[in-house]
Amino acid sequence: MKLQNLVSRLEKKHHKKLDLSLERTFNLLKKLGSPQDNLENICTVVGTNSKASMAFSFKSILNEAGYKCNLYSSPSLQSHTERFIFNDCEIDEQELIELLISVEKILGNDNATLFEIFTCAFIKYAENFKKNINIIEAGLFHQFDSTNVFKKNTLTLLGVIHSDHYLWLENKSIEGVIHEKTTKLLNSNIFVNKQVDEKIRKKIEHALEKNKSNKYYFGQDFNISRSENGFIQYQDELGELVLPEPNLLGEHQLYNISTAISASRKMFNVADDAIKKGIQKIDLKGRLQEIKNGKLKNIAGNNRLVIDGGHNISAALSIAKWIKSQNEEVNIICGMLKDKDHLEFMKCFEGTIGSATLIDIPNQENGINKEELKNKLSHLNIDFKLADSIEQSIKLNSSNKNTITLIVGSLYLVGEILNLN
């Protein structure tokens, strides 16, 4: 509770949650002694979707190869501590409290958003392990993101890009989003993940034309596929790898993992065996994560219980593809934030699910009310139900035996589920 009270206080340091500018970040970093200039092996992770999957896959592979990592990610699911990984360990809550209080004192009466404070705190603490590989996940964009403060980096993992969050931008288009995420990428090595379609990939390629980095594109410079006999085959200029099944569900995760493999082979000369072991040990929450025990699994009974924080069209398409690959009927439970494209998200599930139970996201003032959500989706050909709680929604679906209950729509909902379980 002490940590949450502190975070609530820090949120008041700026009247906006998002204010696209680097001025406040550089001001705070200067007060902290410009720690960003002392870190080595900076690996930035940028994109709309797939950032966390690429980052944690990359970390897992590097760990198996003997490298130590620091990792900064967002948002928080269960605790703010999970965003701060140093020397491969999540920071202790008391350590984080002390770190944030020290940064708060140095900030003084100046303004900064919570994300800016968190980012600067991470960078400052990472000085203690500055020779580690620093994997740093950007926030919503990149050009004015508080993670874009380094003079040089080793590489960038560029994930799936699409139009989520474009309302924050002047250029409210996919071109605007691509510009924000790519225009300030440093000249080093850029590994580009598989995109939703070829048009977007070509737009990214065009946007990066003036960037002098070595560029590696999925489908051109590296690839991954599942053969008819079930083997997973990875290929790049260094040769072919036959891989075991990774511990992440969904075909889209193969693309995310392949981007991490390409970077680890090309930049860190990671051995094949470390790659094979690493992709089976990826520690990632809330991305087609199966809940196999606990309170909520007991309510689900014999049904499989899976959670995914996907909340935009790209994520919905990947989730829908996974649903179609299952042998059992899938019923979803959905809760979303107000600012999402609810109709386009749910439209992806037409004809693929048995039913959809709508709920409010607990403890989330920015969530859309379930009745309002149902009204917005009323003309879709989906059997909608309403439930008053997470537990009730799972119980409603537990009467359908030997099915899959899949909870989607928000990472904040995923966090509530993990805490409740």
Closest-CA residue to 214 (of 154, 143, 275, 135): 154
pLDDT of amino acid 220: 97
1: number of Cβ within 10 Å: 5
Q: Compute the distance between CA of residue 223 and CA of residue 237 in angstroms, rounded to an integer.
A: 10
Say if residue 198 is exposed, middle or buried (CB neighbours under 10 Å; 0-12, 13-18, 19+): exposed
Does a cis peptide bond (omega within 30 degrees of 0) precede residue 362?
no
Q: What pLDDT was estimated at residue 170?
A: 60
Euclidean distance between CA atoms 241 and 237, whole angstroms:
11
Rounded Cα–Cα distance for residues 85 and 72 (Å) = 6
What is the reported pLDDT for 143? 87
Q: DSSP letters of 361-397?
A: PTT-TTBPPHHHHHHHTTTSSS-EEE-SSHHHHHHHH
User: Hunting for tokens 């392949």 — which residue is that?
Assistant: 258
- What residue segments make up the domains of the chain, in order of their start? 2-278, 289-420
User: Which of 63, 45, 311 lies closest to 192 in space, CA to CA?
Assistant: 45
Third-level CATH fold of 289-420: Protein-Tyrosine Phosphatase; Chain A (3.90.190)
- Is 0.85 topped by the overall pTM? yes
Q: What value, to the nearest 5°, has the Cα angle with vertex 105 and ends 102 and 106?
A: 90
CATH T-level topology, domain 2-278: UDP-N-acetylmuramoyl-L-alanine:D-glutamate ligase (3.40.1190)
How far is 66 from 24, CA to CA, in rounded Å?
36
Q: Is 375 exposed, middle or buried (0-12, 13-18, 19+ CB in 10 A)?
A: exposed
Q: Is the dihedral of CA 345, 218, 40, 27 positive or negative?
A: negative
Distance in Å from the first CA to the final CA of the chain = 19
Show the beta-strand stretches assigned E in 40-196.
42-46, 69-72, 84-86, 89-90, 133-137, 155-158, 189-192
User: Given this model, what pLDDT does residue 242 score?
Assistant: 95
Residues 6+ apart with CB under 8 A from 187: 211, 212, 213
Helix 114-126 and helix 93-107, axial crossing angle in degrees, nearest 10: 110
- Whole-angstrom Cα distance, residue 171 to residue 216? 27
Q: Which residues of the chain carry a pLDDT beneath 50?
A: none
Separation CA 359–CA 371 (nearest Å): 9
- Angle (CA) 129-130-133 rounded to 5° is 90
Q: What share of the chain is helix, strand, coil (3-state, %, to 5)?
A: 40, 20, 45
Q: pLDDT (tens digit, 9 = 90+) per residue, 212-234?
A: 999 999 999 999 999 878 789 99
